Chains A and B, each alone.
Chain A
């Protein structure tokens, strides 16, 4: 008992300063991409040749675009063509699917603000039920770390609930494999109203490398990444309830 207390004392407080301080991201962190306005169809073709995802990069109406909902942030396109650059912008969560598409020459990025009053009412108490539906467990693991002392999302009242009965939102990871479709539908149905669906990771948003199953309802938040960095997820969940950082 005494040894445990000494160890606890020596460990001290390990919770990061983020938020409100900026998160500690690795030097090669790949965040929101930027695409130069003069990116040509040939540039896009060159990038598509090395892109592991079908249709993450597109060229239409004379403009290149990159869909963060499909992207796995491997950075191969930026290596093939300097007109795409992955910035350190980690605030990637959005409320509408179309907002995940980054267009060539887009101006300064401002993360969208939550306006849904039912979501805003959850500020300070957001309970999530995680459903892993065919995911590779990277998204699940990096959601789990938010509960460790390093991130401690419970200090903002955000927790993973053991039952959908106690959940305000279903936190979906994975492409919704055929064998998880029924379990996802039932879990969503078991949550009390009002309820939300949050899709985290390329698989849950677009299927990513796989083909996606059917959402029970359209998600009210999309958190892209493969997997999303814990800082991205925490910032998105805070913004989801209007608790910006």
Chain B
């Protein structure tokens, strides 16, 4: 434990922090002491319709010195349940899909690829159509979530036009997902060896028409926000995580990209989402034109001493790389299952982003990361 107390200002506290070598795990920082020191606790039940988590803002006057994040409220034993369901494939898929509901398609892909690698004799290699449908669901999930997050960011700085437009447009992408598989979250479609749904020519034509209508509307909504001075003023420089820090604490996905390619503030994370929305649209139009995407190239199988196979599958989910790993007995009975949501890497990033900010900037910092509680808690 590092002791930090009796500072008269955040600057002084950070100077002390620097003298200790710069990086201290936010969870190891003890509560502050001193006249200006105070702590604000929120959660687990929050004001919005969101997941539970407990946050403690350790403040020096108006400034947040440190944000402590307490998770675990969502723990319900997903991994243990997947192991216990060994032999009941539909149940295992459903469990993987409900680890984090907003990442259902990515989770199903990771699970399917893992099982295909572990049981090549049981599951066929997915054909082109299956790979196309999987990628479509993954990219639609990416666009829907990024759109929702950008709308929520707009809402948090009281720019209600883009908040309303994006709220509605996110639903259009969820409904496109439902057109493909009947479920707005892309569930019940992906299985090891392939998919349970078909993508007929009429559906492809309808998707093309739908996207051609909605994409310009989304572009208009985002342009409106990114060109608004009052929005830019709130996003620029807020919640900054430098490239060095991002590397040091191992951020992944959107947050990592924002610190590598841009300057790591709320605006950067918003811009990365806009970039990824455009990239995802490019992928979708290539898939609809008939191009077959390759499956994930990051499935790795290891043979641990004694013949215990371990398979690790990573899918480029919308928040970042989603990793599923399983260990099997020599008879290939499932022994352990592990899910690492990209959020698990990024929660310390949120704590870093809030350093030196005011509590009132927490909503946009939080929304710019939009990390998964259930995906982390499992």
Residue positions of A touching B, CB distance < 8 A: 3-4, 7-8, 10-11, 14, 24, 26-30, 50-53, 72-76, 79, 130-145, 147-150, 160, 162-164, 174-175, 177-180, 183, 187, 203, 208-210, 226-227, 229
Measured between beta carbons, the chain A residues less than 8 angstroms from B73 are 134, 177, 179-180, 183
Measured between beta carbons, the chain A residues less than 8 angstroms from B45 are 131, 164, 183, 187
Q: Which of B74-82, B299-307, B332-340 contacts A (4 or more CB under 8 A)?
A: B74-82
Q: Is the beta-carbon distance between A140 and B167 smaller than 8 angstroms?
A: no
B31 CB–A CB distance under 8 Å: no
Q: Is the beta-carbon distance between B178 and A26 smaller than 8 angstroms?
A: yes
Given contacts A29-B178, A138-B98, A138-B102, contact A7 B51 (CB under 8 A): no
B295 CB–A CB distance under 8 Å: no
User: Which partner residue on chain B sits nearest A24 by CB separation?
Assistant: B175
B104 CB–A CB distance under 8 Å: yes
Most chain A CB within a 10 A radius of its CB, from B74, B217, B224: B74
Q: Is the beta-carbon distance between A132 and B50 smaller than 8 angstroms?
A: yes
B188 CB–A CB distance under 8 Å: yes
Known pairs A177-B73, A210-B76 / 18 extra A-B pairs, C-beta < 8 Å? A7-B220, A11-B217, A26-B178, A28-B178, A51-B90, A72-B187, A76-B188, A131-B45, A134-B73, A136-B101, A137-B101, A142-B184, A148-B164, A150-B171, A160-B48, A162-B47, A163-B47, A227-B184
Measured between beta carbons, the chain A residues less than 8 angstroms from B224 are 3-4, 7
Partner of A229, one of B49, B74, B88, B184: B184
Nearest chain A CB to B348's CB is how many angstroms away? Answer: 21
- Cβ < 8 Å to A, chain B residues 159-178: 161, 164-165, 167-168, 170-171, 174-175, 178
Q: Is the beta-carbon distance between B181 and A149 smaller than 8 angstroms?
A: no
Measured between beta carbons, the chain B residues less than 8 angstroms from A52 are 88, 90-91, 93-94
Nearest chain A CB to B242's CB is how many angstroms away? Answer: 30
Given contacts A52-B88, A134-B76, A145-B167, contact A72 B94 (CB under 8 A): yes
Most chain B CB within a 10 A radius of its CB, from A51, A138, A160, A164: A138
Partner of B52, one of A138, A139, A162, A180: A180
Residue positions of B touching A, CB distance < 8 A: 44-45, 47-52, 72-77, 81, 88, 90-91, 93-95, 98-102, 104, 148, 161, 164-165, 167-168, 170-171, 174-175, 178-179, 181-185, 187-188, 196-197, 217, 220-221, 224, 227-228, 372-374
Partner of B179, one of A27, A148, A162: A27
A73 to B314, CA, bound (A): 27
Q: Is the beta-carbon distance between A179 and B51 smaller than 8 angstroms?
A: no
Q: Is the beta-carbon distance between B91 and A137 smaller than 8 angstroms?
A: no
Partner of A14, one of B168, B182, B184, B374: B168
A72 to B189, CA, bound (A): 13
Q: Is the beta-carbon distance between A209 and B98 smaller than 8 angstroms?
A: yes
Q: Is the beta-carbon distance between B227 and A179 smaller than 8 angstroms?
A: no
A8 to B220, CA, bound (A): 11
Q: Is the beta-carbon distance between A150 and B187 smaller than 8 angstroms?
A: no
User: Which partner residue on chain A sits nearest B72 by CB separation?
Assistant: A179
User: Which partner residue on chain A sits nearest B203 by CB separation?
Assistant: A27
Partner of B74, one of A24, A53, A74, A177: A177
